A and B are shown apart, each in its own frame.
Chain A
Amino acid sequence: MPSPSRKDIMPGTLDLLILKTLAAGADHGYGIAKAIQRVSADVLQVEEGSLYPALHRLEKRGHIAGAWTKSDSGRRVREYALTPGGRSALKRETTSWHAMSDAIGRVLNARVAVTRGTEGLAGEGL
């Protein structure tokens, strides 16, 4: 069981996280899941039930390319690498994510300001 502080990946963001992880280098499914968990300081938990369909979907779109290779233990393992198309998609999706994140942040802050009855809706802190 994941700890209470752990969060499942938000819908629609797993593809972005996979692309970002693979921007650091090719990796297999298990490695990608562990990297996301590690970089997020154990907050984000990637479910295998979502990870593999996402990997296959991204591969089909041409954003990543899968290839069979040998692991350190000598086992056959399928590694995924970012393609040029995937790199463009990562850049585009990152910009989109920041825009969306900023917009959501502004709405959340504005709602708090209205509740408190203060002047001005934007730029208010919690």
Chain B
Amino acid sequence: MSFGARLVSMVRRATGATASGGAASEVDEEFSFHIGELERELVRSGIPAAEARDRARERFGDVGVLRRRCVEIATEDRIMVMRINAVLTAVLLVAVLGLGWMVVRGNAEQARALDALTVRLGPAVPPARSAAVEQPASLKPPTQAPGFVYISGGIGRAGVYAMEKAGMTLSQLISAAGGAKEGSTKVAVKRGQGPKEIIVAETTIADLAAGHCKTVLAPDDIVTVE
């Protein structure tokens, strides 16, 4: 039996017992009085006490069956209401748990979808240049947090592209930007600003298409397609 079914069963038994317990004792007292009166009536008619007691009980009938019928009549509404309450509570509980699960799952899926879109979508709004950009350029592959790269020139959709994480390659950026325009042949990647600016990579569209260039971009890299 599942936990839910067991819980409902426990509630049902508990509420049924609570509702019918008091009613049963009152019914018993009522029957006891009636049987006592029958017994006295028989004794008055000359029947010995012991025999009168037996005959009174026999005439009254099955106390257990009669008690059950009377208790059912007296408590059926209360028990029904309690059972409905128990069922509604269980349904509400399941609904809340289900809703919570859907929210958690939805958030996770949304996060995954946003992650995927971060690389695919663009151009994005250019951010203010951070202090990190002012650091000396390095030829080492970037390992820092996500940032933005810039691409211009003979490209399908020039602009600023957000990079979700370190490791975005030059080929991926050109592909995300709609590919090189017809007639464009060269690609350059610049890193750093002013006197610290260096050219990280220079390659051709043909080499990129052939997979010969594995340049990995860093935040704030500037890509020029000519």
Known contacts A30-B37, A60-B73, A60-B74; is A48 also within 8 Å of B61 by CB? Answer: yes
Q: Tell which of B29, B36, B73 touches A78, judged by Cβ atoms closer than 8 Å.
A: B29
Residue from B31, B33, B59, B61 having most chain A Cβ neighbours under 10 A: B33
Q: Is the CB of A30 within 8 A of B34?
A: yes
**B23-50 interface code vs A (CB 8 A; 1 in, 0 out):** 0001101110110111000000000000
CB contacts between A and B, total, < 8 Å: 49
Residues of A close to B70: CB separation below 8 A = 52-53, 56
Q: Is the CB of B33 within 8 A of A49?
A: no
Stretch from A69-77, A87-95, A98-106 at the B interface: A69-77
* A57 sits at the interface (CB 8 A): yes
Interface members, chain A 39-74 (any B CB < 8 Å): 47-49, 52-53, 56-57, 59-60, 71
Q: Is the CB of A53 within 8 A of B66?
A: yes
Known contacts A49-B61, A52-B31, A57-B73; is A75 also within 8 Å of B66 by CB? Answer: no
* Consensus secondary structure, chain A interface: helix
* Consensus secondary structure, chain B interface: helix
Q: Is the CB of B74 within 8 A of A30?
A: no
Residues of B close to A76: CB separation below 8 A = 29, 33
Q: How far is the CA of A57 from the CA of B76 in the complex (A)?
A: 11
Residues of B close to A48: CB separation below 8 A = 34, 59-61, 66
